Structure 1
């Protein structure tokens, strides 16, 4: 297994937290030996347990997105370089990161009203917490757009959490790495060290 077990997490709630915090994802599919990758916002539907998104119908990747097709979605959390200078023991340079890989099957949403609802739901999610803009189902701009996008859901079949956060270091070096992150501009990954990932969890 890669990465090593101590850098993996099977905690779905941790992975959902990453998905919510970093919804701009990579949608990966393939046709024969040709890979397709599109960067789009993808949100997690708490009620259905599925991922939801939409893509431009003119995107060449659409040829691979048929009902039942297998795709991988990559949610990239924070990452940063860790200098050996922060540790109390001899170490080599390394990189810490948080990545979530989701594998699932495509379910196309062809009903125009259901497609609009995915756009409303995504906007509502992305506008939180202030909600300074609200997208209405009867917004006439949606009627003009709906024929040019393909909404879809992804039925999740596999979760992979990759949390490389100095778990393999001794307790003192783990704390030193966390302190260095907190003191750096990488406060987002430090927050994960403090919150989503608990040493020994």
Structure 2
């Protein structure tokens, strides 16, 4: 990831927070000149990222023991108009991104895969836990043979937080408010339009 120093995040805990708050990751592997990309939720468990995908996904062959992989977690992002600044500027884009590079370990034991799915559900259902997945749920038993489980031993974290850090304090605050506002408004408008077009 191209890292201008003033946009690079060096606090590992801040970088991890992106993965914790936005666990739907883009998983990237490469075989010779062919990239493999899968979108999948990943959660922390015992300081590792744990996930699972459909065994029919061709990415499976690169999510086995000792293969390198990169997980990309995208936080809030938005276009920043110069109109919000108190000083003259050009249009830009602000965003929060975390990369986790590591090595894959395949999870072959179906009981451990089921436990990992239960753990993931507990994490994603927090804090209200309106649904509790039973480890012995019959639906899981029927699907388990079609699931490829894996964990990622993280070797390197990298964060790029482009948040108008090169601006005066008033403009940094304006950009922060724009990031918050646009993410709330854009998500609502986009999802409403998408559902209107599909249902």
| TM-score of the superposed pair, with normalisation by structure 1 | 0.87
Match of residue 150 from structure 1: 148
Q: 1:27-42 counterparts in 2 under 5 A?
A: 27-42=27-42
How many residues align structurally? 185
- Distance in 1 separating the partners of 2:17 and 2:149: 23
SS in 2 for 1:141: helix
TM-fit CA distance, 1:129: 1.2
The answer to whether the aligner puts 1:113 opposite 2:111 as a matched pair is yes
* Counterpart position of 1:23: 23
Q: Give the equivalent residue in structure 2 for 1:12.
A: 12
Please state how far the C-alpha of 1:2 moved relative to its aligned partner: 2.0
Q: After superposition, give the CA deviation of every residue in 1:47-79 in whole Å (9 maximum; x if it has no partner).
A: x21000001110011122220000000001110
- Note the 1:181-196 alignment, pairs <5 A: 181-182=179-180, 184-186=181-183
Could you tell me which residue of structure 2 aligns to residue 72 of structure 1?
70
Structure-2 separation of matches of 1:154 and 1:65: 9
Q: Structure 1 residues 132, 93: CA separation in 2 closer, same or farther (over 3 Å shift)?
A: same
Which structure has the highest helix share of the two?
2
Q: How far did 1:107 drift? A: 0.4
Distance 1:153 1:129 in 2: 24
Question: Where do 5+ consecutive residues of structure 1 fail to align?
Answer: 189-201
* Superposition RMSD in Å: 1.5
What TM-score comes out, normalization by structure 2 length?
Answer: 0.88
The Cα of 1:185 is off from its aligned counterpart by: 3.6
